[in-house]
């Protein structure tokens, strides 16, 4: 069932597989050029995520006197706000991300002739795929819980003979007409999409980060493998010949050039991800704090 997460999958097939799916759905997968349809798709996704981010955080500030409900609005609201910023960062700097992605891909695919090197990379790629899959599934489960809770509550009310209440999946400030029929189902669907696009966004961005780190780790390990291979022929002897020294020098020169290229790649990657990482940890701290406060208030 989960064969696509196994180390036996070639890197050519597993490369950024799960982040790529999420990124394409969100319309922010790095490409050389975006089509008009993808631009419209991205604009719609930005709209639904922004709607949730603004409306839910506004609800939290407006109803601070009801701290439990306010915190329940802040948790998804802050997450959506940060995901909105992530979407914009990846979209605005699309070409830059595309070049980084292609540099990683080129460095990995250049070593496909060596089975041992590919085994090194594919093990790490499998770990990256597993982590990315956990991100996607856990986020999807959380979003599904938010969306199903009002439906299940109304189902229970129906079986108990009570009136059905028009409740939305998230605490949000919107005009009252959109909470009533005939607009209520559309509003519910749009907020469901808002949660889903939030999940796909952080699944893509965070999965992109995890996969890229694992791939660069694999490239460094391939260089380590090359250095060990170069000096393998000296294991049986104490000295090397002049011809060996010259060959070693040429081989090590090539390895050093590759090493410097990877260092440059890591520097560019870290520079472009600094803002995203800062936003991620700030949002995680706020969500964690809100969740703990919410649990403490509910337990009382």
State the average pLDDT over residues 79-106: 92
pLDDT > 90: percent of the chain: 47
Task: State pTM to two decimals.
Answer: 0.88
Rounded (10°) angle between helices 115-159 and 17-26: 50
Return the HEC string of 138-182: HHHHHHHHHHHHHHHHHHHHHHCCCCCCCCCCCCCCCCHHHHCCC
Residue 65 has pLDDT above 80, yes or no: yes
Q: Note the pLDDT of residue 237.
A: 63
Q: Domain count of the chain?
A: 1
Residues 6 or more apart whose CB falls under 8 angstroms from that of 216 comprise 104, 262, 265, 266, 269
Can you give the residue range of the structural domain that contains 16? 3-299
Where helices occur in 1-93 by DSSP H, the ranges are 11-14, 17-26, 36-62, 67-92
Residue 280 has pLDDT above 80, yes or no: no
Residue 21 has pLDDT above 70, yes or no: yes
Question: CA–CA separation, 133 vs 148, rounded Å?
Answer: 22
Residue 263 or 64, more confident:
263
Cβ 170 vs Cβ 99: under 8 Å: no
Q: Note the pLDDT of residue 71.
A: 80
Per-position DSSP letters for 19-30, written without gaps between them: HHHHHHHHT---
* pLDDT, tens only, 148-204: 999 998 899 888 888 888 889 998 999 888 888 889 999 999 999 999 999 999 999
Q: Note the pLDDT of residue 172.
A: 92
Rounded (10°) angle between helices 184-230 and 115-159: 160
Task: Calculate the CA 274 to chain-centre distance.
Answer: 15
* pLDDT, tens only, 285-300: 777 777 777 677 665 5
């Amino acid at each position: 069932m989960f064969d696509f997460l196994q180390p036996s999958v070639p890197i050519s097939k597993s490369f950024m597989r799960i982040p790529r799916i999420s990124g394409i759905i969100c319309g922010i997968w790095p490409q050389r050029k975006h089509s008009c349809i993808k631009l419209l798709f991205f604009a719609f996704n930005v709209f639904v995520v922004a709607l949730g981010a603004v409306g839910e955080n506004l609800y939290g500030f407006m109803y601070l006197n009801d701290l439990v409900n306010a915190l329940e609005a802040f948790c998804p609201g802050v997450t959506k706000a940060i995901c909105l910023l992530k979407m914009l960062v990846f979209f605005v700097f699309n070409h830059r991300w595309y070049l980084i992605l292609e540099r990683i891909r080129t460095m990995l695919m250049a070593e496909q002739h060596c089975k041992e090197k590919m085994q090194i990379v594919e093990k790490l790629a499998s770990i990256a795929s597993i982590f990315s899959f956990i991100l996607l599934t856990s986020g999807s489960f959380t979003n599904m819980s938010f969306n199903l809770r009002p439906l299940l509550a109304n189902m229970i009310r129906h079986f108990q003979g009570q009136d059905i209440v028009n409740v939305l999946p998230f605490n949000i400030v919107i005009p009252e007409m959109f909470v009533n029929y005939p607009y209520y189902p559309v509003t519910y669907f749009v907020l469901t999409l808002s949660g889903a696009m939030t999940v796909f966004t952080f699944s893509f961005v965070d999965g992109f980060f995890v996969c890229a780190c694992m791939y660069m780790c694999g490239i460094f390990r391939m260089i380590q493998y090359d250095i060990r291979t170069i000096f393998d022929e000296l294991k049986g002897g104490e000295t090397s010949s002049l011809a060996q020294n010259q060959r070693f020098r040429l081989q090590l020169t090539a390895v050093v050039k590759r090493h410097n290229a990877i260092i440059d790649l890591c520097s560019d990657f870290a520079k472009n991800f600094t803002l995203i990482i800062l936003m991620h940890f700030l949002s995680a701290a706020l969500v964690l704090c809100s969740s703990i406060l919410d649990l403490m208030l509910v337990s009382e």
